[in-house]
């Protein structure tokens, strides 16, 4: 047999395994045993140990604006069958070319898996994830990730490294922008929406991609808000706060998990058996595979946990990290480690099996090029309906923080002074982690967006200052146009690179001289309304801006259609409905600050918050500037007639909580109605408030609706001191409100039986 004939014989055998597989790639298969076992067994019986190890190795292609670039070494390793997956390669052609090497030039022709960070859109960029969370709109989030999957899959991507479901309570941390904020319940619901959107309900369809819940776990709790930093927390906090969004992702069928860079209680995540073997696999029955974060495996050497790279490889695979992203320690050391008896052959085989299974589920053995179709790519990316969805999402992610004297919405016939470093920007507006989104030529700036409502001649523009500098030379020009206009819109904020990975800040005020600039304008034209539109990837300290501006609209980084979404809100075509998914502190010294803190033994008396020897500050209030769940609307919503169905429930009963919401203002609009409880006494102390449900309801002006929530003992469960997950009998306070800032007035008792 000549070599070519041999290769094609093997490919034929492999393809034969996959017959029928395309109809059985249902998502959510974490629940069921694999239906691919016999195909995988047959394939693995042909594989050498090196080839099995190869499946656990992921390399990066790297890419530039015009297309993917892949180093010669990567290609060499792919040809040898030593690579199972690639990251940072996209486009139908780029992925097809590499796939061709894997399929046609390796001994067994096993297709590669292409992974990429499709975080808040692929080409059509949606608001950053913190902004998406501010919409509290699960349907919209699911739809946005469905669109991202459509676009990414059309560009050859099989797998997204998303969602990031890390709870984040420290605005200094740059990656707070990438998650859903501070709350366990909200983050968990949003985690499910992302997974469903990316994976759809049939992974064998060519427009669905694998999701990856990351970073397991505790990454958001790094000390001092520094990226990659040490995390220490009790198992109790881990289980009650940081694990639930990951569990939600497993329940929604997430096929893959990513390790975290941080250590947790002294053990780096990538080598943490307790996390991957005990919790993820034994307790949660997760059946997918775990990829390390970037070079996280060999970073265990720097952590002081592994003696060298080889030791790191041993620790990671034994702990349950199946795939090595970038680090190549698996390729270099796993064989030796097996020969030395430090890693069992079966451990590597188990990892290989799970990775192959993902490839079968995606239908790659049926057609390895099914995601790499140039015609489909062309007709899919930036589709009109995707852009429309992104515009709607941009509008619904905005949070109106302040609106004195009804400064907003704007009326169309006025002259606007449009000022600030982000007013004409189309580079920052799509935010960090913007996948393959174009930073030039695609995104709609605010300047352009406004032109849908007012003529260009009615917009007087001056940049005035930079995002970060102390140059005041252009303040004057801005003051001059502010004097000429009827209303002032200042667009200020952070550079997109000031949040995201490795972008922690110790100062969370507006950068450079922006605050000074706002003060200059406010002082120069005190009688004109000053609207502040903010783009930023984290909660900022806005204490001074809150005094200077008449209205503040938090726009995060709103994505490709951001300028239009913002214009829709400024002119009232979309009534703002966003609510904060994270607390905005008064100043950095209050961090960590989140709504569901504990009470302490010396809580402050509400009527005397400054009382001595209470848990307060001597210089600033305990309360945040803007609380979790908060956000204004152009209309008013009144909450009345709150009722619960019973004052007592058993562990099998349902409690119904009802409230009437009336839209008493002049605009139709959405309200995010929030259900909170407080478990008054527990075997471990409980947070002062916990979100347990929410509904986003639309009410026409003058309309009212009775809103109903159902609560069961299951919703009241938590991990106690004994690490058992249960609801404890006792008194619970309960309320329905439009933000986390309210006082409980009603309670019920959970009885013992
Ligand atoms: C990040 C991950 C990301 C990976 C691949 C890492 O630095 O922490 O979230 O998925 O890079 O780009």
pLDDT digits (tens, 9 = 90+) for 422-469: 999 999 999 999 999 999 899 999 999 999 999 999 999 999 999 999
Q: Band the pLDDT of 8: cuts 50, 70, 90.
A: very low
- The alpha carbon of 256 and the centre of ligand 1 are apart by a number of angstroms equal to 14
User: Residue 152: is its pLDDT beyond 80?
Assistant: yes
User: What are the tens digits of pLDDT across the range 130-149?
Assistant: 999 999 999 999 999 999 99
**Which single residue is written with the structure tokens 């390390």?**
292
Integer Cα distance of 147 and 124 in angstroms: 8
C-alpha 731 to ligand 1 mean position (Å): 44
Report the nearest-CA residue for atom 10 of ligand 1.
161
Which ligand 1 atom sits nearest the alpha carbon of residue 164? 9
Q: 701 exposed, middle or buried (CB, 10 Å; 0-12, 13-18, 19+)?
A: middle
**Above 70 in pLDDT, residue 13?**
no
pLDDT band at residue 327 using 50, 70 and 90 as cut-offs: confident
Please state the rounded mean pLDDT for residues 351-358.
98
Q: From atom 12 of ligand 1, which residue's Cα is the shortest distance away?
A: 117
- Looking at residue 64, its pLDDT comes to 52
**What is the pLDDT averaged over residues 315-336?**
96
- Distance, in Å, from the CA atom of 426 to the CA atom of 662, rounded to the nearest integer, reads 39
Q: Please, is 717 exposed, middle or buried when counting C-beta atoms within 10 Å of its C-beta (0-12, 13-18, 19+)?
A: middle
Lowest mean pLDDT among 12-16, 400-404, 490-494, 542-546: 12-16
Check if the beta carbon of residue 531 is closer than 8 Å to that of residue 576: no
How remote is the CA of residue 154 from the centroid of ligand 1, in Å?
22
Residue 704 C-beta-side C-alpha neighbours within 13 Å: 11
Output the residue whose Cα is nearest ligand 1's atom 4. Answer: 294
Determine the pLDDT at residue 73: 85
* Average pLDDT for 142-171: 98
Q: Are strands 718-719 and 256-259 parallel, antiparallel or unpaired?
A: unpaired
Tens digits of residue pLDDT in 77-100: 999 999 999 999 999 999 999 999
The torsion defined by the Cα of 736, 737, 742 and 748, in degrees rounded to 10, comes to: 0
Mean pLDDT for 463-477 is 98
Q: What is the DSSP string of 124-167?
A: SBPPPHHHHHHTT-HHHHHHHHHHHHHHHHHTT--EE---B---
Q: Please work out whether the CB of residue 214 comes within 6 Å of at least one atom of ligand 1.
A: yes
Q: Of 752 and 648, which is predicted with more confidence?
A: 648
Read off the tokens for 636.
């008013």
Measured CA to CA, the distance from residue 391 to residue 382 in angstroms comes to 12
Paired residues of 746 in beta bridges: 734
pLDDT at 55 over 50: yes
Q: At what angle do helices 562-570 and 384-397 cross, to 10 degrees?
A: 50
**CA–CA separation, 560 and 431 (whole Å):** 9
Ligand 1 atom nearest the C-alpha of 162 is 10
Note the pLDDT of residue 67. 56
Q: How many C-beta atoms surround the C-beta of residue 6 within 10 A?
A: 11
Q: Is 166 in the pocket of ligand 1 (CB under 6 A)?
A: no
What would the mean pLDDT of 550-559 be, rounded to a whole number? 98
Region of 497 (left: φ > 0; alpha: ψ -120 to 50; beta: rest) is alpha
Q: Separation of 536 CA from ligand 1 center, angstroms?
A: 21
Please give the structure tokens belonging to residue 702. 């003058």
How much is the pLDDT for 63?
A: 67
Candidates 492, 468, 607, 599; CA nearest to 540 is 492
158 lines ligand 1 (CB under 6 A): no
Q: Does pLDDT of 9 surpass 50? A: no
501 close to ligand 1 (CB < 6 Angstrom): yes
**What number does the ligand 1 atom closest to the CA of 214 have?**
9
What the block records as the tokens of 748 is 């019920």
Average pLDDT, the chain: 94
How far, in Å, is the centroid of ligand 1 from the Cα of 294? 6
CA–CA dist 352, 705 (Å, integer): 54
Mutation probe of ligand 1 site: the residue of 501, 503, 504 with most atoms within 8 A of C-beta: 501
Does residue 312 surpass a pLDDT of 60?
yes
Under a CB-based contact definition with an 8 Å cutoff, are residues 120 and 381 in contact?
A: no
**β-strands 159-160, 718-719: how paired?**
unpaired
Q: For the segment 559-585, what is each residue's pLDDT rounded down to a tens digit?
A: 999 999 999 999 999 999 999 999 999
Protein residue closest via CA to atom 2 of ligand 1: 293
pLDDT at residue 62 in the model: 74
> Residues of the chain with pLDDT > 70: what percent?
95
Nearest atom, ligand 1, residue 326 CA: 5
Is the beta carbon of 117 within 6 A of some atom in ligand 1? yes
| pLDDT beyond 60 at 4 | no
DSSP 628: T
CA of residue 84 to ligand 1 center, whole Å:
18
Average pLDDT over every residue of 119-136 = 98
CA of 293 to the centre of ligand 1 (A): 6
What pLDDT was estimated at residue 68?
59
Residues 6+ apart with CB under 8 A from 385: none
Q: 33: pLDDT confidence band, cut at 50, 70 and 90? A: low
* CA of 297 relative to ligand 1 center, distance in Å: 13
Q: How far apart are CA 364 and CA 372, in angstroms?
A: 11
Q: Is the CB of 216 under 6 A from ligand 1?
A: no
Of 62, 117, 168, best ligand 1 pocket probe by most atoms within 8 Å of the beta carbon:
117
Whether 156 has a pLDDT exceeding 80, the answer reads yes
Confidence (pTM): 0.96
* pLDDT number for residue 557: 98
Q: Is 607 tagged catalytic?
A: no
Atom of ligand 1 nearest to the CA of 88: 12
pLDDT digits (tens, 9 = 90+) for 634-683: 999 999 999 999 999 999 999 999 999 999 999 999 999 999 999 999 99
The bridge status of strand 730-737 relative to strand 746-750 is: antiparallel
211 CA distance to ligand 1 centroid (A)?
14
405-432 burial code (b ≥16 CB/10 A, e <16): eebbbbeeeeebbbbbbbbbbbebbbbb
d(CA 245, CA 227): 20
**Ligand 1 test: best mutation among 159, 290, 293, most atoms within 8 Å of CB?**
293
How far, in Å, CA of 613 to CA of 570, rounded?
Answer: 46
pLDDT band at residue 364 under the 50/70/90 scheme = very high
Average pLDDT, stretch 474-497?
Answer: 98
List 293, 311, 366, 425, catalytic entry: 293
| Helices (H) then strands (E): counts for the chain | 22, 28
Q: Which helix (H) or strand (E) holds 698?
A: strand 690-699
Ligand 1 pocket test: pick from 218, 294, 297, 503 the residue with the most ligand atoms within 8 Å of its Cβ: 294
């Amino acid at each position: 047999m000549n070599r070519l004939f041999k290769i094609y014989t093997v490919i034929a055998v492999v393809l034969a395994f996959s017959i029928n597989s395309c109809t059985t790639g249902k998502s959510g298969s974490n629940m069921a045993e694999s239906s691919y076992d016999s195909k995988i067994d047959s394939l693995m019986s042909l594989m050498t140990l090196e080839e099995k190890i190869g499946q656990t190795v992921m390399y990066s292609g790297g890419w530039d604006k015009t297309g993917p670039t892949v180093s010669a070494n990567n290609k060499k390793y792919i040809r040898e069958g030593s690579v199972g997956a690639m990251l940072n390669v996209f486009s139908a052609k780029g992925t097809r070319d590499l796939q061709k090497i894997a399929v046609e030039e390796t001994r067994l022709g096993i297709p590669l898996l292409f992974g990429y960070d499709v975080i808040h859109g692929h080409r059509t960029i949606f608001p950053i994830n913190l902004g998406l969370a501010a919409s509290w709109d699960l349907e919209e989030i699911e739809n946005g990730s469905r669109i991202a999957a459509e676009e990414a899959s059309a560009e050859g991507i099989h797998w997204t490294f998303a969602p990031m479901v890390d709870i984040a309570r420290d605005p200094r941390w740059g990656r707070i922008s990438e998650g859903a904020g501070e709350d366990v319940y909200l983050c968990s619901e949003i985690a499910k929406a992302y997974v469903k959107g990316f994976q759809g309900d049939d992974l064998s369809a060519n427009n669905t991609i694998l999701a990856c819940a990351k970073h397991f776990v505790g990454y958001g709790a790094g000390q001092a808000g520094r990226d990659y930093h040490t995390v220490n927390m009790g198992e109790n906090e881990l289980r009650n706060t940081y694990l639930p969004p990951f569990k939600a992702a497993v329940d929604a069928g997430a096929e893959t998990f990513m390790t975290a860079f941080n250590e947790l209680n002294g053990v780096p995540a990538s080598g943490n058996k307790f996390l991957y073997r005990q919790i993820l696999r034994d307790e949660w029955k997760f059946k997918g595979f775990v990829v390390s974060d970037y070079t996280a495996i060999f970073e265990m050497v720097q952590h002081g946990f592994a003696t060298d790279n080889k030791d790191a490889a041993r620790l990671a695979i034994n702990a349950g990290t199946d795939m090595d992203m970038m680090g190549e320690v698996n390729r270099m050391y796993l064989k030796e480690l097996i020969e030395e008896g430090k890693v069992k052959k079966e451990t590597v085989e188990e990892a290989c099996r799970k990775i192959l299974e993902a490839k079968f589920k995606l239908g790659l053995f049926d057609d390895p090029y099914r995601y790499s179709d140039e015609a489909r790519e062309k007709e899919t990316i930036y589709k009109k309906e995707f852009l429309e969805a992104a515009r709607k999402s941009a509008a619904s992610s905005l949070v109106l923080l302040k609106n004195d004297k009804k400064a907003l919405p704007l009326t169309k016939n006025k002259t606007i002074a449009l000022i600030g470093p982000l007013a004409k920007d189309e580079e920052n507006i799509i935010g960090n982690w913007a996948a393959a989104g174009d930073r030039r030529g695609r995104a709609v700036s605010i300047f352009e967006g406004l032109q849908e409502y007012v003529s260009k001649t009615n917009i007087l523009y001056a940049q005035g200052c930079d995002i970060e500098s102390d140059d005041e030379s252009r303040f004057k020009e801005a003051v001059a146009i502010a004097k000429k206009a009827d209303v002032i819109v200042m667009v200020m904020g952070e550079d997109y690179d000031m949040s995201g990975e490795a972008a922690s800040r110790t100062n969370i005020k507006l950068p450079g001289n922006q605050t000074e600039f706002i003060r200059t304008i406010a002082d120069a034209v005190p009688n004109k309304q000053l609207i502040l539109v903010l783009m930023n990837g984290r909660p900022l300290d806005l204490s001074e801006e809150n005094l200077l501006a008449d209205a503040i609209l938090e726009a995060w980084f709103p994505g490709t259609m951001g300028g239009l979404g913002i214009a829709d809100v400024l002119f009232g075509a979309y009534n703002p409905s966003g609510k904060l998914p994270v607390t905005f502190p008064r100043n950095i010294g209050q961090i960590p600050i989140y709504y569901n803190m504990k009470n302490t033994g010396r809580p402050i008396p509400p009527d005397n918050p400054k009382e001595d020897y209470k848990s307060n500050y001597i210089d600033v209030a305990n309360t945040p500037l803007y609380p979790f769940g908060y956000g204004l609307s152009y209309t008013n919503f009144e909450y009345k007639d709150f009722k619960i169905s019973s004052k007592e429930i058993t562990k099998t009963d349902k409690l119904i909580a009802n409230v009437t919401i009336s839209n008493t203002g002049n605009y139709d609009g959405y309200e995010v109605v929030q259900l909170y409880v407080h478990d008054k006494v527990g075997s471990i102390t409980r947070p002062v408030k916990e979100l347990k449900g929410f509904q986003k309801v639309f009410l026409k002006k003058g309309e009212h609706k009775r809103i109903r929530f159902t609560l069961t003992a299951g919703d009241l469960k938590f991990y106690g001191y004994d690490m058992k997950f249960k609801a404890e009998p006792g008194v619970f306070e309960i309320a329905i409100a439009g933000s986390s800032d309210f006082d409980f007035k009603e309670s019920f008792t959970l009885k013992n039986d």
